[in-house]
Structure formats: C-alpha cells, structure tokens
Amino acid sequence: ATAIKVTDISGGCGAMYEIKIQSEEFKEKRIVQQHQMVNQVLKEKIKGMHRLRIFTSVPKY
C-alpha cells in the first residue's frame, strides 16, 4: 500500500474503525474486489470489530 490511515470512529469503545488505503494493487479492480482484498488481509483483526468502513483508491501521480 502507498498510504494507510486508520481512524477510531467508535467514540472511545474501540469497536468501530474507518480505514483508508491507497494501493497500486487496486488498479483495474472494482470497488468490491478492492474491499475483498482488504477484508482478506484483515480478517483476523476485524473479527471483534462492530463496524469497519473501508475506503480504497489508486494513487494519482
């Protein structure tokens, strides 16, 4: 990934996060495929989360 930003949006309980990821690997992939890639990598970490908002993008040069 070129850039990753994780933000706790739970208001303190630590159960809801927003993750923004930029990666060349997302190029020519649909949003659903991009999110599946992220979910696959984070599957063990997200088990205990109540909610995860994912935003993916391809870097612009």
Q: For the residues of the chain, what is the DSSP string, one character each?
A: --EEEEEE-SSSSS-EEEEEEE-GGGTT--HHHHHHHHHHHHTTTTTT-SEEEEEEE----
**What is the span of the domain harbouring residue 33?**
3-57
Amino acid at 50: H
- The residue ranking higher by pLDDT, 46 or 21, is 21
* 54 bridge partner residues: 19
Q: The domain spanning residue 9 has which CATH number?
A: 3.30.300.90
Number of domains in the chain: 1
Task: Convert the pLDDT of each residue in 9-44 to its tens digit.
Answer: 988 777 899 999 999 999 999 999 999 999 999 999
Beta strand pairing call for 3-8 and 51-57: unpaired
Q: What is the pTM of this model?
A: 0.83
